[in-house]
Amino acid sequence: MTRTIESWLTDMDGVLVHEGHAIPGAAEFIRTLRDSERPFLILTNNSIFTARDLRARLYTSGIDVPEASIWTSALATAQFLSDQVPGGSAYVIGEAGLTTALYEAGYTLTESDPDYVVLGETRTYSFEAITKAVRLILGGARFICTNPDATGPSAEGPLPAAGAVAAMITRATGREPYFVGKPNPMMFRSALNRIDAHSESTAMIGDRMDTDVVAGIEAGLHTFLVLTGSTKLKDVDKYPFRPSTVVDSIANLIERI
């Protein structure tokens, strides 16, 4: 039986854009969603940028999407912490995407006895900041990380990302962080709540088996794997789980809206 899809979640890098350029069909896909008034969110583990920043980057590539339709691991983390400890405090390693999200969620950013140490992505990880995080965690602060990605892309090649730095802090403290972003289904559930969608009638489009697809499966979504990003067709059988559907690119999904 063909599943009726009323709402859509989609990854950004490798699905909509690649190195700053729109993937063919991506702009039309988003435009069709908007014209059809289908609820949708663009999900990204990138916590560096605010939703406003990402909207501007997508617009530059030719994809016009509202700021409110972008859901980052920073926003999901801020939502999670606000639910856990409303009006709490945090020591943050990260950039504007994360600090802005926490501030807007009512959090106080502090180096003195915070409720949480929150680790996100940054272009310049400071050894001094990491040392401070280690000492605060040993002093009783709870450890949160926006996402488990060990590396991130750059024009010159892979860069160490939040997951790699989290591993260093874990080794120094003996404390594992709670990861909010993909592949934690928590990020998907918060996204579904944001657009008032139900898992039974929502699809997730992603280019990675180990984050997008597995989290989509665990959240009960129909999963589409596109082959324009990290995962190639020959890689799919290496995993113990499978996407609902494999397509060449997001262009193939316009007719499903």
- Residues forming the active site: 11, 13
The neighbouring-strand residues paired with 43 are 11, 71
- Taking the C-alpha atoms of residue 46 and residue 120, their distance in angstroms, rounded to an integer, is 8
Angle at 96 between CA 70 and CA 7, to 5 degrees: 10
The DSSP annotation for 129-147 comes to HHHHHHHHHHTT-EEEES-
d(CA 194, CA 142): 26
Neighbours of 143 (CB within 10 A): 20
Q: Other C-beta atoms within 10 Å of 194: how many?
A: 16
* 116 close to 110: Cβ distance less than 8 angstroms: no
What length is written for the chain?
257
